[in-house]
């Protein structure tokens, strides 16, 4: 860093990457996988791997996939939150197969998989 302005610019850039609403633009999709202890114990790692693999296979460049901490619904883990078109969708009790289907139907085709969403279980 050579100046206070550079430091401030870097801080704003990092802050926008942390805030889902800032990261998810009009044509972007942000996917967060709950990777706290309960999520990992319930199988979140294979779900995250499946999401990354499927996005890579489909070359989804406007999709950001990352892990987050506790989402707060331990009994419904693994949990995947999708921020798309200004809305948040919470997918629960996910498996790698469900994750791949969610990418195909929701992220690619714009149709949320209702049976996997929190209110549908």
21-67 pLDDT tens trace: 444 556 789 999 999 999 999 999 999 999 999 999 999 989 999 99
For each of the domains in the chain, give its residue range(s) and CATH number, in order of start. Answer: 24-120 (3.40.30.10)
Helices (H), the chain: 4-18, 20-23, 37-42, 44-57, 96-102
Residues 79-97, mean pLDDT to the nearest whole number: 95
- Residue carrying the six token digits 């009994």: 75
d(CA 96, CA 45): 9
Phi, psi of 109 (to 5 degrees): -100, -5
The model's confidence at residue 7, banded by pLDDT at 50, 70 and 90, is confident
Give the per-residue pLDDT at 20: 45
């Amino acid at each position: 860093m050579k100046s206070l302005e550079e430091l401030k610019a870097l801080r704003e850039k990092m802050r926008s990457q942390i805030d889902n609403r800032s990261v998810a633009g009009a044509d972007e999709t942000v996917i967060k996988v709950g990777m706290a202890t309960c999520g990992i114990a319930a199988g979140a790692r294979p779900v995250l791997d499946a999401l990354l693999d499927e996005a890579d296979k489909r070359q989804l460049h406007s999709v950001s996939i990352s892990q987050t901490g506790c989402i707060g619904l331990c009994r419904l883990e693994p949990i995947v939150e999708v921020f798309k078109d200004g809305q948040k969708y919470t997918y629960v009790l996910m498996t790698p197969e469900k994750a791949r289907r969610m990418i195909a139907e929701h992220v690619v085709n714009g149709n949320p998989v209702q049976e996997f969403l929190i209110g549908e279980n």
